[in-house]
Amino acid sequence: MRRLLLTLALLTTALAAVPAPGQPADAASRASGKRSVMFVGNNWSGTATVVDAQSLKVLKRGIDLVPDLDEELAAIRRDPVRLAYYLAVQQGPGEGHDQLVDDMFTTRDGRYLAVSRPSLADVVWVDIAKAAAGAPGAIVREQQMDGHRTDHMGVSPDGRRLLVSDSTARQVIEFSMVTEVLPDGRRIRMGDRLRAFASGETPHESNYSRNGRRVFHASIGRVYTPGDQGTALEDPIKGDRWFQVVRNRDFRVIKRWDMGRELAEAGYPGMSSAVRPMAVGRGGRFLWFQVSFFHGYVEFDTRAPDLNGRVDYTSGDHPEPRRGAVTRVVPLPNRVPDMPREQYVNDSAHHGLSVDAEGERLCVAGTMDDYVALVDVDTTRRRIFDRRTTGHAYLKPYWTTEGPNGTCWVSLSESDAVAVIDVRRRREIAWLAVGDHPQRIRHGVVRERTVRSW
């Protein structure tokens, strides 16, 4: 039944679907003078690696995304408040390292790359050709957060808008990814700040629905603090952690859930409320997500009726009925049963989840377990990828991304590598050395003339 619902959702949205930015058909992208690529952000080195999305060959390593690092650090040292946050980010989420590249998205023309830089608390738009050549003037626009750290980003299906999590300010900020004239006559430039919506403590991931009308957003709380054992101190220490559905038209939070409470009501008490990476089905009804400390994932039906009829939080004066239900909790192998929770990286047992185009297979990063799992959505049958099954090191997988041609791309943060898995044939087809602590991987485009210069 679940697969039937997913198939119907796929059929009803297929005709109206707009290809995601950076994910055009390869023939179309080549004809328009653009190359389909994967950008890999190497968080600790502040660089990007670019991989051809079709040939799986590395096109360019070591693109400097922090050419202004000395200038930025000098400004931070002059401001005691900024310096305190910088050191806290370095020693907390950064595990003793600067966090210089978290997330990236290319503009539709393949000329610029938007980059969130956590330790510098900003987002910049980088001229890809200049950055790759080490030429001056690579950063063409910079926007500072209201708070003191940036994190995940999300880009709209039409490529016009960018969402950036403002980690310490409990909000998500929208920026323009294009220069254009709006219907009301206002002219906006690439990088202009437009709107914001409220989040819980430490806003994390944002994903647009396929039609761009909704944003699925989660906050994860203070993952760098104690309170990992699920005692009464957890909520005061970690903060409020919500999963939200935001209406894009007016940025109103139309649904909000405390997933720890949802899990408890479904018969799974004591699980965390912090929703980590998520995968959204094509119709936007079913979604799958990871939660802190859990080795596995949760399936959630956003349209299931709430059994007790309660209302929940929204951003307006008239709360809407809370609807949604945990439909399944799927455990995966826990290979570190004796590891104290305090040693989990930023509270993550597993951090990285994506779903294929058909909505039938999940690609799961088993971060603390050093494996990747391909899991059938309906049957939960799985295939494990690790050193034993592939011959390659799969140390601390940290992110998964749906790639072209039915592939899953996985960042292996402690192996300084990326693995590419053929989802349908269930086998590894590439393992590529990249840079220091690869984290986010995003599908994008680069101008062919830029690639030829490499």
pLDDT beneath 50, residues of the chain = 1-25, 307-322
Q: Write the Ramachandran bin of 377: left for phi over 0, alpha for psi from -120 to 50, otherwise beta.
A: alpha
C-alpha–C-alpha distance, residues 277 and 372, integer Å? 14
Q: What is d(CA 259, CA 282) in angstroms, rounded to the nearest whole number?
A: 21
**How distant, in Å, are the alpha carbons of 180, 188, 223 from that of 183?**
10, 11, 42
Q: Round to whole Å and give the CA distance between 168 and 322.
A: 27
Q: What does the pLDDT look like over 394-408, one tens digit per residue?
A: 999 999 999 999 999
Q: What is the pLDDT of residue 318?
A: 32
Pairing of strands 112-117, 103-106: antiparallel
Q: Are strands 382-385 and 371-376 parallel, antiparallel or unpaired?
A: antiparallel
- Per the DSSP assignment, residues forming a β-bridge with 219 are 203
How far does Cα 21 stand from its chain's mean position? 15
* Spatial CB neighbours of 388, under 8 Å, sequence gap ≥ 6: none
Report the C-alpha gap between 236 and 18 in whole angstroms. 42
Q: Which pLDDT belongs to residue 29?
A: 58
What was the pLDDT predicted at 165? 98
Which residues does 414 contact at the CB level (< 8 Å), separation at least 6? Answer: 395, 396, 437
CA torsion sign for 141, 143, 144, 149 is negative
Three-state SS across the chain? CHHHHHHHHHHHHHCCCCCCCCCCCHHHHHHCCEEEEEEEEECCCCEEEEEECCCCCEEEEEEECCCCHHHHHHHHHCCHHHHHHHHHHHHCCCCCCCCCCCEEEECCCCCEEEEEEHHHCEEEEEEHHHHHHCCCCCEEEEEECCCCCEEEEEECCCCCEEEEEECCCCEEEEEECCCEECCCCCEECCCCEEEEEECCCCEEEEEECCCCCEEEEEECCCCCCCCCCCCCCHHHHHCCCCEEEEECCCCEEEEEECHHHHHHHCCCCCCCCCEEEEEECCCCCEEEEEECCCCEEEEEECCCCCCCCCECCCCCCCCCECCCEEEEEEECCCCCCCCCHHHCECCECCCCEEECCCCCEEEEEEHHHCEEEEEECCCCCEEEECHHHHCCCCCCEEEEEEECCCEEEEEECCCCEEEEEECCCCEEEEEEECCCCEEEEEEEEEEHHHHHCC
The total of structural domains in the chain comes to 1
The CATH number of the domain holding residue 402 is 2.130.10.10
The angle at the Cα of 439, spanning 262 to 218, to the nearest 5 degrees, equals 25
Closest of 11, 47, 53 to residue 35, by C-alpha: 53
Summarised one tens digit per residue, pLDDT across range 192-224 is: 999 999 999 999 999 999 999 999 999 998 887
Q: Measured over all CA atoms, what is the biggest interatomic distance in the chain, rounded to whole angstroms?
A: 62
Supply the range of the domain harboring residue 69: 2-452
Could you give phi then psi for residue 17, rounded to 5 degrees? -65, 140
Residue 228 confidence (pLDDT): 65
pLDDT at position 8: 35
What local confidence, expressed as pLDDT, does residue 323 receive? Answer: 58
